[in-house]
Amino acid sequence: MAPMREKIGVGLVGSQFISTIHAKALQSVADATIVAVASPTAGHAKDFAKEHGIPHHFTSLDQLLAMDAIDMVVIGAPNILHCEITLAAAKAGKHVVVEKPLCMNLAEADRMIEACRQAKVKLMYAEELCFTPKYVRLKQLLDEGALGKAVLLKQSEKHDGPHAAHFWDVERSGGGVTMDMGCHAIQFFRWLNGNTPIATVYAQMSTSVHAARTRGDDNAIIILEFANGVTAVAEESWTKLGGMDDRAEIHGSEGVAYADVLQGNSIQTYSQRGVGYAVEKAGSTTGWSFAMYEEIWNYGFPQEFAHFVDCVKHDKAPLVTGEDGRAVLEVIFAAYESAGSGRKVRMPFKTDVDKPYKLWKK
């Protein structure tokens, strides 16, 4: 492989919610430069490029992939496109950062991993919770032994529902809140627990509030038993009003630790007029709300991209890979199977079903 240039050239795929975060995060990484953005809706890539000072914009992915100046592609497109964009990027010899969830099913995951292996490019799985400063510190407390032996891990993400239609359409997303936000908790638990194998998965799911909008789950509880005896509980919701929640707990044999990424780091605010922007999915901010500062930094996105760029520039192994994304997806399938059957599912879980929600709705 040719020696890497001084600044890693990045191509962004997508131009809306998460790509805006990618652009802001990458702009804080000294060793990276955003060369181009591609997004199919006419005008979107152009506006995005103008707003973020990106020199090139395309409506065609192929044009972006044809650019020699691009070393690494960052995929911020709907779940159903992650596999095909990864395969095209690998074929063009670009390293790949793919947003969560990795893709729609295990066969796609295998194809993505194999294509990147054959093309000798890195497949990096963008799970920012492994870089969230408060969670990194939480893991340090566990690793240094301050909490004794881990007994119970908890993590939850809750808001009042996604901002775009593709999330609500299970044919394009693959599933509801378990697919969309449960993936964060599952990788968070694997990372905290040193990638210990998962022995069983149990899940309970419902479509409690949004049945008119989706066939996916809008609330879920997922319980994992790890082979080392640790239990992990994820609570996920698309029906929680009043701003995004992101919290974790570690209950150990000699201690306990609580970490709240958003409310715990925010400014408790009372406003009769309301706050212009308080936090992701804040809803009404009249009266009491919590106003975040440095939200992207508090979530670990600049740290995540500094790491991925460093991996590409210096040929290092990424902290979170395509294999991690596949392992998370396997647990997601097992969770939908459990919610469908009412039974605890033993891992490993093999399935050739093309979308996780189908195991729940069979």
Ligand X SMILES: NC(=O)c1ccc[n+]([C@@H]2O[C@H](COP(=O)([O-])OP(=O)(O)OC[C@H]3O[C@@H](n4cnc5c(N)ncnc54)[C@H](O)[C@@H]3O)[C@@H](O)[C@H]2O)c1
Q: Is the peptide bond before 302 cis (omega within 30 degrees of 0)?
A: no
The least distance separating ligand X from the CB of residue 21, rounded to whole angstroms, comes to 7
Q: Which one of 10, 12, 13, 334 is in contact with ligand X (CB under 6 A)?
A: 13
The Cα–Cα gap between 114 and 123 comes to 10
Q: Does 26 bind ligand X (CB under 6 A)?
A: no
The Cα–Cα gap between 335 and 331 comes to 6
The piece of 72-80, 286-294, 316-324, 327-335 that touches ligand X (CB under 6 A) is 72-80
The least distance separating ligand X from the CB of residue 113, rounded to whole angstroms, comes to 18
Q: Which one of 77, 147, 262, 332 is in contact with ligand X (CB under 6 A)?
A: 77
The Cα–Cα gap between 30 and 12 comes to 17
15 or 155, CB closer to ligand X?
A: 15
Q: Does 265 bind ligand X (CB under 6 A)?
A: no
The least distance separating ligand X from the CB of residue 197, rounded to whole angstroms, comes to 25
Q: Does 94 bind ligand X (CB under 6 A)?
A: no
The number of residues in the chain equals: 362
Going residue by residue from 136 to 165, which x/- string records binding to ligand X, judged by CB under 6 A?
----------------------------x-
Query: For the chain, first and last CA: distance in Å?
Result: 47
In the region spanning residues 331 to 350, those forming contacts with ligand X, defined by CB under 6 A, are none
- What are phi and psi for residue 187, nearest 5 degrees? -70, -35
Cite the DSSP H helix spans in the chain.
Answer: 17-27, 44-52, 61-65, 82-91, 106-119, 133-143, 165-168, 170-173, 177, 183-192, 295-299, 301-314, 322-341, 357-360
Q: At 341, is the secondary structure helix, strand, or coil?
A: helix
Count of residues touching ligand X (by CB under 6 A)? 25
The Cα–Cα gap between 150 and 143 comes to 10
128 or 235, CB closer to ligand X?
A: 128
Q: Say which DSSP state 303 is in.
A: H
63 or 271, CB closer to ligand X?
A: 63
The single residue listed with the structure tokens 């032994």 is: 145
Going residue by residue from 52 to 71, which x/- string records binding to ligand X, judged by CB under 6 A?
---------x----------
The least distance separating ligand X from the CB of residue 296, rounded to whole angstroms, comes to 11
45 or 142, CB closer to ligand X?
A: 45
Closest CA to 264 of 248, 280, 276, 286: 248
176 or 252, CB closer to ligand X?
A: 176
Residue type, 291: A
The Cα–Cα gap between 102 and 94 comes to 17
The least distance separating ligand X from the CB of residue 176, rounded to whole angstroms, comes to 12
Q: Does 79 bind ligand X (CB under 6 A)?
A: yes
The Cα–Cα gap between 207 and 330 comes to 22
Q: Does 18 bind ligand X (CB under 6 A)?
A: yes
19 or 200, CB closer to ligand X?
A: 19
In the region spanning residues 32 to 51, those forming contacts with ligand X, defined by CB under 6 A, are 38-41, 44
Q: Say which DSSP state 289 is in.
A: E
The Cα–Cα gap between 152 and 98 comes to 30
The neighbouring-strand residues paired with 96 are 73, 123
14 or 252, CB closer to ligand X?
A: 14
Q: Which one of 57, 71, 72, 78 is in contact with ligand X (CB under 6 A)?
A: 78
The least distance separating ligand X from the CB of residue 164, rounded to whole angstroms, comes to 3
Residue type, 315: D
Going residue by residue from 119 to 138, which x/- string records binding to ligand X, judged by CB under 6 A?
-------x-x----------
Q: How far is CA 82 from the centre of its chain?
A: 12
> Residues interacting with ligand X, by CB under 6 A?
13-19, 38-41, 44, 61, 76-79, 81, 99-100, 126, 128, 164, 166, 180
